[in-house]
Amino acid sequence: MNLSVLHPDLTGRVAVVTGASRGIGKALAIRLARDGAAVVVAAKSEQSTDRLPGSIHETAAEIRAAGGRAVAVATDVRDEDAVRNMVERAVSEFGRLDILVNNAGVIWTQPILQTPPKRFDLMMDVNVRAAYVACYYALPHMVKQQWGHVLNMCPRLHLEPSPGKVAYMISKLGMARLAIGLAAEHQRDNVAGNSLWPRTIIETQASINWKMADRSQWRTPEILCDASLALFAQEPRTATGRQWIDEELLTELAGIADFDRYWCEGRPPAHPIYIDKW
């Protein structure tokens, strides 16, 4: 077991995390800062609400209170100008951009006839188009410095039909195609493109609001944080073009085989629900 890769020294690195006002994005932004990176906390939520608790300002304040560096940038990822500004703020505030995490997402698990075109368009805009636009503006900085990691939070490409989640999977699998295509185009520039997805349900506001089983079936966001940091510990050209599942990444890069500590209730459920092939 190589636990050192879970805590790489990211001093001098700069990361942008979308969807960082709550859930996985917030946990990852805090973790990146804890390991030395300056973080652009990007999301649309500037104020916490009962239904959607958390804001970019709360995340950034928590990072700064712990001694880290962070700036909150209000970003509607559907707006190209807002995404361009997000990247430009990273460079103007911290001088560079090393890590881009496309985490912002919209979920809608309904059949085709319960998914009107407006809902389909929203998922395409937030899940795949926003990730593409962010890559478009971030990549020149990474290519110039010959170092960068792009990580898209999405399932890997597969042929299963995914009934009840067709529109959602179209958008998410577009993110996977973006990651592996970017990897092929920019490995020579020492810029990595990868996707990452949990094997099980993660405790987030989405799993709460959508009533995805219950807390006995959930893992904490820390499993994705550990997996992401283990990936960012690698030289980009040596760890690129992969469609990772969190367990597989942690086993291969950190030698971890026991995942019990990540369960929200401290023990694995009798019959865990796996979502790695959504």
Closest listed residue to residue 37, CA positions, set 196, 141, 130, 149: 149
Q: Give domain status of residue 89, yes or no.
A: yes
* Widest distance between CA atoms in the chain: 50
Q: At what angle do helices 166-186 and 130-145 cross, to 10 degrees?
A: 10
Question: Residue 277's pLDDT is what?
Answer: 73
Structural domain for 112, as ranges: 3-262
Tell me how many domains the chain contains.
1
Secondary structure (3-state) at 15: strand
Q: Give domain status of residue 276, yes or no.
A: no
Secondary structure (3-state) at 231: helix
Question: Residue 75's pLDDT is what?
Answer: 98
Q: Give domain status of residue 275, yes or no.
A: no
Q: How far apart are CA 218 and CA 109, in angstroms?
A: 18
Question: Residue 181's pLDDT is what?
Answer: 98
Torsion, Cα 68 73 76 77, to 10 degrees, reads -60
Q: Give domain status of residue 268, yes or no.
A: no
Single-letter residue type at 32: L
Q: Give domain status of residue 219, yes or no.
A: yes
Question: Residue 271's pLDDT is what?
Answer: 92
Structure token digits, residue 260: 């019990």
Given the residues 132, 136, 137, 168, the one annotated as active site? 168
Q: Give domain status of residue 164, yes or no.
A: yes
Closest listed residue to residue 109, CA positions, set 154, 169, 152: 169
Q: Domain with 234 in it: what CATH number?
A: 3.40.50.720
Please give the average pLDDT of every successive group of 10 residues along the chain, which has 278 residues: 88 98 98 98 94 95 98 98 98 98 96 98 98 98 98 95 95 98 98 98 92 95 98 98 98 97 95 88
Active site annotation includes 168? yes
Secondary structure (3-state) at 62: helix
Question: Residue 278's pLDDT is what?
Answer: 77
Question: Residue 233's pLDDT is what?
Answer: 98
Q: Give domain status of residue 241, yes or no.
A: yes
Q: What is the pTM of this model?
A: 0.97
Instruction: Please name the residues in contact with 138: beta carbons below 8 A apart, sequence gap of 6 or more.
Output: 16, 87, 97, 100, 148, 150
Q: Give domain status of residue 274, yes or no.
A: no
